[in-house]
Chains A and B, each alone.
Chain A
Amino acid sequence: MSTPMVGWKDLPMAAVPFLSAKEYPTGEWAVFQPKIDESKCVKCGLCWMYCPDSVYRWDGEGVPVPDLDHCKGCGICAVECPTKAIEMVRI
């Protein structure tokens, strides 16, 4: 006989997603992705604040670094950057 089926009492109460979304590369959606000119960056952190995808990694000190595996290329950071240090380049 095959292995016994799992009874309903052994199942979780609801569907439980078990993988972190960071394993899903939404960066594949992007046509344009940000490139930061480090000499123009004033480290205000607005790109980090306005990113809908929590893509920017910023320790509060240096230049924010975008995680291009997850950047969907919306371009909010390039529009909101006060010194226009961010350029959207075609990938």
Chain B
Amino acid sequence: MVAKAVWRPDIKELARIEGQKRPVESGHRLCAGCGAGIIIRQIAMAARKPLVWINATGCVEVATTIFPYTSWNVPWAHNAFENAAAVGSGVEAARKKLARVNRFEGDPDIELDYDVIVLGGDGGTYDIGLQAISGAFERRHKIMYVLYDNEAYMNTGIQRSGGTPFGARTTTTPVGKVIKGKPLFKKPIMDIMVAHGIPYAATVSPAYWNDALVKFRRGFETEGPVFIHAFSTCPLGWGSAPEDTVKIMKLAVETCVFPLYEVVDGEYRLTGPSVSIAKNPDRKKPVEEYLKLQGRFRHMFKPENKWMIEKFQEWVDRQWETLLKRAGY
């Protein structure tokens, strides 16, 4: 069941609360201009209850807890790539059991009313952690799984993952005579997660912060497993300028490379700028505008590789048409 009332975030109120609580402290060692830093702050802003944060291995885990420093002022646990969703399920199941037997009734130090958030990168979600997520969703645990998708294994040195898009240069799919970047397309992770029949799934771009916060809050309010696919620019791995992080996030939505939508009990609904693009197809920008800001796609702009941009555009159009049909446009 999904709560009906829509929460309207007020930026001033959020700023006051963050100033007092500081859930994610400054001084973590994510790269300058990292998109994941914005995502973790927005998740903490959208929280309605205390959080228990389960973090799969990935950039966020590596950079925020370099011993002996930690950036987290919320209960936080690190686990392996494979079992992040399984640990989240365990925390949620233990909470239910402790509440049922009234183990800590009247204890002022123990708060059992909390939300469980599991954060994983694209390596931990698309490739390594997929079976744990599938299991957690099948068992209907009330966890929110957030995937921050920076489209390769960035913290180990930019290796390709299931989330790497077509044509992107990574260290394991270099541009040369035989292959020119990754020859394959991105795995349709949202379709896989929606196929589990979960009550709420959404795509989020932190650049559209209002839309993102409303979706995160709705994820917390939903009784049951929630999957949220957040788009995260990586200046290091994508070869983009650090100051263009938010600009690229916006362009990804405007070119329909990463459309914004939510799936409530199997029903697709477009949100934010994707609605206006669906109504006015003229507003859809060509993918070149998104590709040209990133060094990993630079080879596609050579005259002999023009077919790659066309192929990319064709893939984007096909995905967008499918989504429009599902959303009833």
On A, residues with C-beta under 8 Å from B are 14-15, 17-26, 29-30, 44-45, 48-55, 57-61, 67, 69-70, 72-76, 78-80
If A29-B32, A50-B38 touch, whether A79 touches B27 (CB-CB below 8 Å) is no
Chain B residue contacts of A25, Cβ below 8 A: 27
In chain B between 1 and 53, which residues have their CB closer than 8 angstroms to a CB of chain A? Answer: 11-13, 15-16, 18-19, 22, 24-38, 41
Q: How far is the CB of B325 from chain A (nearest CB, A)?
A: 34
Q: Which residues of B contact A57 (CB under 8 A)?
A: 19
With A48-B15, A74-B245 known as contacts, the answer to whether A21 contacts B32 (CB < 8 A) is no
Taking CB atoms, residues of chain B closer than 8 Å to A49 are 11, 38, 209
Chain A interface SS verdict (over half): loop
Given contacts A50-B206, A52-B38, A59-B19, 4 further A-B contacts (CB under 8 A): A24-B29, A26-B26, A69-B26, A75-B242
Q: Which of B11, B25, B65 contacts A22 (CB 8 A)?
A: B25
Q: Which residues of A contact B66 (CB under 8 A)?
A: 17
Does residue B64 face the partner (Cβ distance < 8 Å to A)?
A: yes
Number of A-B contacts (CB under 8 A): 124
Instruction: Give A72 to B235 CA distance when docked, in angstroms.
Output: 13
A75-B242, A76-B242 known; A52-B36 Cβ under 8 A = yes
- Please determine whether A76 and B26 come into contact, CB atoms closer than 8 angstroms: no
In the bound complex, residues from chain B placing their C-beta under 8 Å from that of A14 are 77-78
Interface residues of B in 61-115 (CB under 8 A from A): 64-71, 77-78
Q: In the assembly, what is the distance between CA of A58 and CA of B96, in Å?
A: 38
**Best-surrounded residue of A14, A53, A57, A80 (most CB of chain B within 10 A):** A53
Q: Could you tell me if B27 and A20 are in contact, using CB atoms closer than 8 angstroms?
A: yes
Q: Are B32 and A72 in contact (CB under 8 A)?
A: yes
Contact across chains for B11 and A45 when beta carbons are under 8 A apart: yes
**Contact flag A20-B70 (CB < 8 Å), given A52-B38, A53-B26:** yes
When C-beta atoms are compared, the residue in chain A nearest to B29 turns out to be: A26
Query: Which of B32, B36, B206 makes the CB contact (< 8 A) with A73?
Result: B32
Take A52-B33, A79-B243 as given contacts and tell me if A60 and B41 are in contact as well, using a CB distance cutoff of 8 Å.
no
Verify if B246 is at the interface (C-beta below 8 Å from A).
yes
Of chain A, the residue at the smallest CB distance from B45 is A49
30 pairs, CB–CB < 8 Å, chain A vs chain B: A14-B77, A17-B66, A17-B68, A17-B69, A18-B68, A19-B68, A20-B70, A22-B27, A25-B27, A26-B29, A29-B32, A45-B12, A45-B15, A50-B207, A52-B30, A53-B26, A53-B28, A53-B30, A54-B22, A54-B25, A55-B26, A58-B15, A59-B15, A60-B16, A67-B26, A69-B26, A74-B32, A76-B242, A78-B243, A79-B246
Cβ of B247 under 8 Å from chain A: yes
Whole-angstrom CA separation of A23 from B29 in the bound complex: 12
Chain A residues with Cβ under 8 A from B11's Cβ?
44-45, 48-49, 60
The complex places the Cα of A48 from the Cα of B38 at a distance, in Å, of: 10
Known: A21-B64, A48-B15. A76 touches B33 (CB 8 A): yes
Chain A hits for B235, CB < 8 A: 74
CA distance A80 to B243 in the complex (A): 9
B244 CB–A CB distance under 8 Å: yes
> Across the interface, do B32 and A17 meet the contact criterion of CB distance under 8 Å?
no
CA distance A79 to B235 in the complex (A): 15
Distance in Å: Cβ of A14 to nearest Cβ of chain B: 8
Residue from B25, B34, B206, B247 in contact with A21 in the complex, judged by beta carbons closer than 8 Å: B25
Question: A53 contacts which of B37, B207, B247 (Cβ < 8 Å)?
Answer: B37
Residue of A nearest to B44 (CB): A54
Q: Cβ of B64: which chain A residues have Cβ within 8 Å of it?
A: 21
Which of B31, B209, B246 counts the most chain A CB atoms within 10 A?
B246
Which residue in chain A gives the minimum CB-CB distance to B213? Answer: A49
